[in-house]
Structure 1
Amino acid sequence: MSMLRRRLSRLAAGVLALAAIEGAGAALAQQMPAMPVTVANPVSRKITEAIEFTGRFQAWPQVNITSRVTGYLDKASFVEGSLVKQGDVLFSIDPRPFQAAVDQAAAQVKVVQTKIDLTKANLTRAEELRKTGNVTDATYQANLQAYQEAVASIDSAKAALATAKLDLDFATITAPISGKITRQLVSRGNLVVANSTSPLVSIVALDPMYFYFDLDEASYLAYRRAAKGKKDPDGTGPELKAEIGLSDEKTFSHKGTLDYLAPQVDAQTGTVTARAKVDNADGFLTSGLFGRIRITIGEPYEALVVPDVAVGQSSQGRYVIVVGADKIANIRPVELGPKFGKFRVIKSGLKPEDQVLINGQMRARPGGQVVPQLTKLDVPETLVPDQT
């Protein structure tokens, strides 16, 4: 029993000692001097908001070159991977069978034309003899029928000649568009089948290049509101400027214009496909490249800006610490806008004359006194949207 009493005595003594230490700590905290912190007034700047998405470049048009006639491939007249212009000769199919068909069709036209001349002469004689009664009506009708058949057959012969000439022209395959040509997929000497599903080569247009991406529903609505009243050159849709950055670029250096928006929201994904047209005169951009697109939306507006490090977060939301005239640090709830580099837009909750704590947050206790050291924020006149 005495052992138990001794243990209880030691425990009571420990509790009293801990209470004494805690009391001394609290008293010391109350006696701590106010700590220096850096404060600054928020800066007013004109803000233009933007939204960003990821997507890929896609060339358009892209043409698979096939032959319109069947024959043996005789020659290829391009360098693989080079730029070709519309109308450049790409392939030649052995033209001799097609030339022979043209000659045969031309000869048939001459035959029919000779027949027309003969039947016309016979008809003329029959008409003269009919006036004097020296030819029967049956003979006259036979000559008339022969002439009409000859005239009708000349159209068929001329159509056959035109078809033969067209096939001869098709034996020379030219580029239907300008762009970069792929490697040759069929070599010289192979039989080429008309309208085959296997192309001889493909051509990909380079300028302009198109950038496809998907808008979520909220961004789609913001896009439509921002585009309201703005039309592209042909008056069919919204005209909004866009900037695109490649995967290895920190800036959005490629300029474009949004020229297409899908007519409906995809019910499965809740997104809308959009497209931007980008100039590519130097041919640097190529189909399949990944990129980020930034679209400026809405009209510019005036807003207060503070360093992003001045913004904190609690269970109640975002806040900044404001130091009043009494040098007391107080938490001020704020509504945030977009981030521009190291600066953050404050949409509401601050006034221009407020002194916002920008350095020394660890030394400032809400409701405690501080020693504010006022500084001036160096905010660029033109803010670049955050690229992270």
Structure 2
Amino acid sequence: MMKLHAFFSLFALGLFSGVLCLGFLAPGAFAASPDAPSGAPGMAVKAPAVAAGKVFAVDALPGRRYSARIVSPAVVNITSRISGEIIEAPFAEGGRVKKGDVLFRLDPVRYEAAVKSAEGARREAEAELEYAKRSLARVKKLWEQNAESRDAYDAAVRTAKTAEAALLAAEADETLARDDLKHAVIAAPSDGRAGVAAFPVGCWVTSSSGALTTVVATDPVRVRFAVSMKDAASLFGSVEKLREEGTARITLADGTKLAEAARIAFTDNSAGADTDTLDVYAEISNSDEALVPGSTVAVELERNARGGALGVLPYAVMHDEKGAWVWVVTKENRAEKRRVEVECTTESAAIVSSGLSAGETVITDGTHKPREGEPVRIVEGE
């Protein structure tokens, strides 16, 4: 009986000690730690750390870098259309020439003589025609008075028409003779830079001698580069958009970047069957001749952004079965899921046509951490 009494005494003492210990505990001792999962009533939530960046306005969309070649819009091989001895070549090899400047003079003596001969034949034919017309008029009058035969009248008509044809032939011969004389002087067909003279003064040249020199147009010049059809589709959507909205930024061999952008002039009419690339031609002014036809440069193909175009860092955009979306950070530092329309994506920007406003903040790293409407903690800005 005494053992049973001792047991109950010890139990009561332990129960009193437990209650006493609980009384000394802090009131929030049973609250969850900050790292506890969200959703439990009365438990604190630690905001996930993310990196964020601003939505920025876009003027030009950076594209791809290509190797390009400078080409002249007009390379003219200067040839001789007649035979003759070169008596003068009054141009500087490698120098600039203007349209109409004399490049070569051929000996004109034989061609001046041919012009005079053709002119004489033409005047003779004119006289013959005048005589034939007067004779026809006389015969016709006699024939109408029955004083001349029909055969005589027909012969007079034939003589007049023959004289008329001879005059046409003489005029044609004179035209050709004058044309030959004109080509005894060979002039520059356009502004540009002359090449090396293939034949010095004193040489006899003919129409089959080949190019005497070349004249290369240097202002403006064209920049030719090959764009893959994949790039054309991803950067512009279509070749037509490439022609309308594309520009090329040129970097010279020494690393100098030209301030002026080259506009896309045209593209070739078909893609290469083996390479699936399309030749693109951009045009740019070249008054200082910094761009030399035949040389190699680098180009950055850009797309001119339409008014109001906005960009975000490309890894801020996520996709699901409904399309593209981003995490927008509100003024209260809460995550808001926002649907967006992405027009195109480059290595440095995703161009958004709707869903965002300039200056808004979007999460760029740690996009797997936020939950809709919950706070986030920005630890790095880009």
| SS of the residue 1:162 aligns to | helix
Please give the alpha-carbon distance, in whole angstroms, between the structure 2 residues aligned to 1:146 and 1:206. 59
2:286 maps to 1:280: yes
Residue 240 of structure 1 corresponds to 246
Cα distance, 1:73–1:108 mapped onto 2, change above 3 Å: same
Please give the alpha-carbon distance, in whole angstroms, between the structure 2 residues aligned to 1:166 and 1:176. 16
2:199 maps to 1:189: no
* Structure 1 segment 113-128 matched on structure 2, within 5 A: 113-128=126-141
- TM-superposed CA distance for 1:175, in Å, is 0.9
Stretches of structure 2 lacking an aligned partner (at least 5 in a row): 1-48, 316-344, 350-361, 371-375
- 1:43 aligns with one of 49, 53, 59: 53
Cα distance, 1:228–1:347 mapped onto 2, change above 3 Å: farther
Please give the alpha-carbon distance, in whole angstroms, between the structure 2 residues aligned to 1:129 and 1:104. 38
2:230 maps to 1:206: no
Cα distance, 1:209–1:187 mapped onto 2, change above 3 Å: same
Cα distance, 1:133–1:189 mapped onto 2, change above 3 Å: same
2:379 maps to 1:355: yes
Residue 98 of structure 1 corresponds to 111
Say if 1:222 and 1:297, in contact at 8 Å, map to a contact too.
no
Say if 2:95 and 2:194, in contact at 8 Å, map to a contact too.
yes
Question: For residue 215 of structure 1, what is the amino acid of its counterpart?
Answer: V
Stretches of structure 1 lacking an aligned partner (at least 5 in a row): 1-38, 231-236, 307-335, 357-376, 380-388
- TM-superposed CA distance for 1:144, in Å, is 2.0
Say if 1:62 and 1:203, in contact at 8 Å, map to a contact too.
yes
Please give the alpha-carbon distance, in whole angstroms, between the structure 2 residues aligned to 1:224 and 1:337. 11
Please give the alpha-carbon distance, in whole angstroms, between the structure 2 residues aligned to 1:215 and 1:174. 39
Please give the alpha-carbon distance, in whole angstroms, between the structure 1 residues aligned to 2:363 and 2:118. 82
- 1:338 aligns with one of 341, 347, 358: 347
Residue 85 of structure 1 corresponds to 98
2:184 maps to 1:171: yes
Please give the alpha-carbon distance, in whole angstroms, between the structure 2 residues aligned to 1:349 and 1:217. 34
2:229 maps to 1:217: yes
- TM-superposed CA distance for 1:86, in Å, is 1.3
- Deviations 1:287-344 (CA, angstroms, capped at 9, x unpaired): 12211111223744332599xxxxxxxxxxxxxxxxxxxxxxxxxxxxx97359xxxx
Question: For residue 180 of structure 2, what is the amino acid of its counterpart?
Answer: D
Residue 44 of structure 2 corresponds to none
- 2:70 aligns with one of 51, 57, 70: 57
Question: For residue 253 of structure 1, what is the amino acid of its counterpart?
Answer: A
Cα distance, 1:200–1:53 mapped onto 2, change above 3 Å: same
- TM-superposed CA distance for 1:133, in Å, is 3.3
- TM-superposed CA distance for 1:60, in Å, is 1.7
Cα distance, 1:92–1:108 mapped onto 2, change above 3 Å: same
Residue 17 of structure 2 corresponds to none
Question: For residue 44 of structure 1, what is the amino acid of its counterpart?
Answer: K
| SS of the residue 1:248 aligns to | coil
CA RMSD of aligned residues (A): 2.9
| SS of the residue 1:249 aligns to | coil
- Deviations 1:44-82 (CA, angstroms, capped at 9, x unpaired): 252643221111111121010001111111211211111
Cα distance, 1:162–1:353 mapped onto 2, change above 3 Å: farther
Say if 2:118 and 2:170, in contact at 8 Å, map to a contact too.
yes
Question: For residue 301 of structure 2, what is the amino acid of its counterpart?
Answer: I
Say if 1:76 and 1:90, in contact at 8 Å, map to a contact too.
yes
Mark the structure with the bigger radius of gyration. 2
Please give the alpha-carbon distance, in whole angstroms, between the structure 1 residues aligned to 2:256 and 2:223. 18
2:306 maps to 1:297: no
Say if 1:69 and 1:170, in contact at 8 Å, map to a contact too.
yes
| SS of the residue 2:282 aligns to | strand
Cα distance, 1:117–1:217 mapped onto 2, change above 3 Å: closer
Runs of 4+ that moved beyond 6 A = none
Residue 372 of structure 1 corresponds to none
Please give the alpha-carbon distance, in whole angstroms, between the structure 2 residues aligned to 1:80 and 1:42. 61
- TM-superposed CA distance for 1:226, in Å, is 7.0
Cα distance, 1:296–1:353 mapped onto 2, change above 3 Å: farther
TM-score norm. by structure 2 comes to 0.66
Say if 2:50 and 2:365, in contact at 8 Å, map to a contact too.
no
TM-score norm. by structure 1 comes to 0.65
| SS of the residue 1:355 aligns to | strand
- 2:79 aligns with one of 66, 83, 92: 66
Question: For residue 209 of structure 1, what is the amino acid of its counterpart?
Answer: V
Residue 251 of structure 1 corresponds to 257
Say if 1:262 and 1:272, in contact at 8 Å, map to a contact too.
yes
